[in-house]
Amino acid sequence: MAGSIRGLPKLLLLSAIASFSLHAVADSSKQLGMRVDGRQLDREALQAERKAYHDWLVSERVVAARSNALIVQASKEQVSAVDDAPRQLPEIVGFSQDVAVDVAFRDVSLSRLRGNPQKLAVGAVEATADGGYVYTAEIASPGAIGLRVQFAGFRLPAGAALYLYTEEGQVFGPYAGRGPLGTGEFDSHTLAGETITLQLRQTGPASQRALRDTQFQIVGLGHIRPRFMAGECGYNADCVVNAACQSSPSVRGAKDAVAHMLFRSGGFYYICSGGLINDTDAANSLPLFLTANHCISRARDASSLENFFQFAASGCNDTDLCEASYATLRATFPRTLGASIVSTGTSADYTLLRLAEPAPDDSAFLGWNAAPVAFTSGVDLFRISHPGGAPQSYSEHAVDASAPTCTGWPRGNRIYSRDVVGATEGGSSGSPVVNSSGEIVGQLSGACGTNLNDDCDRVNNATVDGAFAAYFGAVEQFLDPGSGPGCTPTGPAESDCSDGVDNDCDGDTDASDVDCATGGLPPGSPCQVNADCASNHCKGKPGQKICK
């Protein structure tokens, strides 16, 4: 008798979305091993750089902005929609609040700003000693444990950049030009707490035209609820296993490949898991990332994706992840922001993404194997995931080819297995499942059984993964593009403006690319980001960078 599916309402909602055919002919013998990034992540250097940015930003903050803050109050209904939500796939952790703030300086006179801060509808702007200007705005949403700012119409001239920071020292940016996705629309990184500071800096000497050309809209504010930290604070089922306590050599690479995902879909924020996946083009610095279709299936959702990598407990008895504040918890873990959909399908519940930023140093890119395993009982499977948003958790499974199947999840398109060690929960969705060689053979869809309220019931419930073998024909061209002609992007923007290469594969090369055309400052000019400079190289300490 068929069982029930955890998360069915969400999955049914997505069933009408067009997907790639799974009937393409693919070579089931194909496989590719894992690739490891040889760069070492220097967390101390990263923290030191962030501190330098924070000290500089605080020193230039416009004091007058404090009396002109943007405060967005959440309604009881919004809070209840998250805090009181039933278990679901994907797991809900926050909501989006509509905001309509147009930040523009068309009516501001640069000459009159010297010694005379001017308030805008939100925040205030004043001149700086170098002939530029700084704009500061405080943003708050009481009750949030984290905030994400949603931007539209983002357009900054050369020499201008925007930053977000907190009093506790967390800082993100610079966001410049048309934003990190190059579209003028993006969700910022997540900052801890219910109050953050937005600051825009234009290096001097600035012109009235640069002031006029600086504009963006704040169209929403992501309000992240305490539920985002539920997994870190002991709310996981007793059978969930901390990966620092027990794991297998088969997931050694997965620990450096799997990410805790936070993204916006409609009016809410959700969490899932996913992982970096290897392809045959090792020179491509924009990595591929695998997750579930029921997590992300739309371009807008993908663009909001924030990945937290290497989020793991330092030891088996580590309790700091719960006791520490959110700022301390997340500040040291590397992140990526933004993604685009490469391929997606509902039948085997997969989405292959292209991240908008290079993977963090020390990352691993998991190998894969197109051989089917769904009909072979006893095949051992292994997983790293983030159940309930918890640090890396470990689980082992064994394929059960006789397990009852759920409607819409036929065996073959899905892999049914029984938990052997550990378990998965909401937040684990999309996590890659690997074979004993550490090769991806699927990604988590959910569970099927008759006792889904008990995550530890491995007798009456089966764990279900979308089968990599079932959709390999749809993704083979991206994972194994071969050595034929074509353009391989090496960055989200033209990374070198004088190498004769179309680095971002947008059809424009070097000076013809808008990424290069927006800057053009000569060596020695003050700058904030590489795109400000004709050489595309902006170097130095925060607040003291110059074009090289």
Q: Which long-range contacts (CB under 8 A, 24 or more apart) does 326-329 make?
A: 326/145, 326/146, 326/192, 326/193, 326/228, 326/229, 327/166, 327/168, 327/169, 327/170, 327/192, 327/193, 329/229, 329/232
The owner of tokens 């006893």 is 378
For residues 197-215, give the mean pLDDT: 93
CA distance 466 to 272: 15
Least confident segment among 101-110, 165-174, 250-259, 321-330:
321-330
252 band by pLDDT with thresholds 50, 70 and 90: very high
- 379: confidence class by pLDDT, cuts 50, 70, 90: very high
In whole angstroms, give the CA distance from residue 222 to residue 94.
Answer: 7
Q: pLDDT band for position 10 (50/70/90)? A: very low
SS3 sequence of 321-347: HHHCCHHHHHHCCCEEECEEEEEEECC
In sequence order, what DSSP letters do the residues of 285-299 get, joined into one string?
A: -S-EEEE-TTT--SH
What is the band of 490 on the pLDDT scale with cuts at 50, 70, 90? low
pLDDT band at 522 (very low <50, low <70, confident <90, very high): confident
> From CA 217, how far away is CA 179, in angstroms rounded?
12
Contact 346, 19 (CB under 8 A): yes
Beta carbons within 8 Å of 67's beta carbon, 6+ residues apart: none
pLDDT value of residue 501: 55
Taking the CB of residue 484, how many other CB atoms lie within 10 A of it? Answer: 5
pLDDT (tens digit per residue) in 459-487: 999 999 999 999 999 999 999 987 344 45
Domains in the chain (CATH in brackets) are: 4-14+30-35+236-479 (2.40.10.120), 61-227 (2.60.120), 489-548 (no CATH)
Range picked from 28-37, 304-313, 410-419, 517-526 for highest mean pLDDT: 410-419
> Is 70 exceeded by the pLDDT of residue 109?
yes
Cβ atoms < 10 Å from Cβ of 528: 25
Report the C-alpha gap between 208 and 204 in whole angstroms.
11
For the chain, give the mean pLDDT: 87
What confidence score (pLDDT) does residue 488 get? 56
Calculate mean pLDDT across residues 278-299: 90
Residue 394 has pLDDT above 70, yes or no: yes
Of 294 and 495, the structure prediction assigns the larger pLDDT to 294
> Which residue did the predictor score with more confidence, 10 or 452?
452
Position 28 confidence tier, pLDDT thresholds 50, 70, 90: confident
List the single range of 9-23, 255-269, 511-525 with lowest mean pLDDT.
9-23
Report, as an integer, the average pLDDT of 498-511.
52
| Chain segment 60-101, per-residue pLDDT in tens | 999 999 999 999 999 999 999 999 998 777 999 999 999 999
- Whether the per-residue pLDDT at 494 is higher than 70: the answer is no
- pLDDT of 313 > 60? The answer is yes
Tokens 């999309």 found at: 430
Q: Cα dist. 240→19, 65, 386, 462 in Å?
A: 33, 47, 10, 15
Q: Per-residue pLDDT averaged across 171-176, rounded?
A: 95
Q: What's the rounded mean pLDDT across residues 399-421?
A: 97
Of the candidate ranges 79-93, 139-153, 216-230, 509-523, the one whose mean pLDDT is the lowest: 509-523
Per-residue pLDDT, averaged over 225-246, amounts to 82
Least confident of 25-34, 159-168, 468-477: 25-34
Q: What is the pLDDT of residue 463?
A: 98
7 vs 382, more confident: 382
pLDDT at 117: 93
- Residues 188-203 as b/e (b if ≥16 CB within 10 A, e otherwise) read bbbbbbbbbbbbbbbb
At 21 the pLDDT is: 37
Judged by average pLDDT, the poorest of 8-12, 143-147, 272-276, 285-289 is: 8-12
Write out the two tokens for 234. 């002991």
| % of the chain beyond a pLDDT of 90 | 66
The more confident residue out of 407 and 114 is: 407
Q: How far apart are CA 263 and CA 274, in angstroms?
A: 12
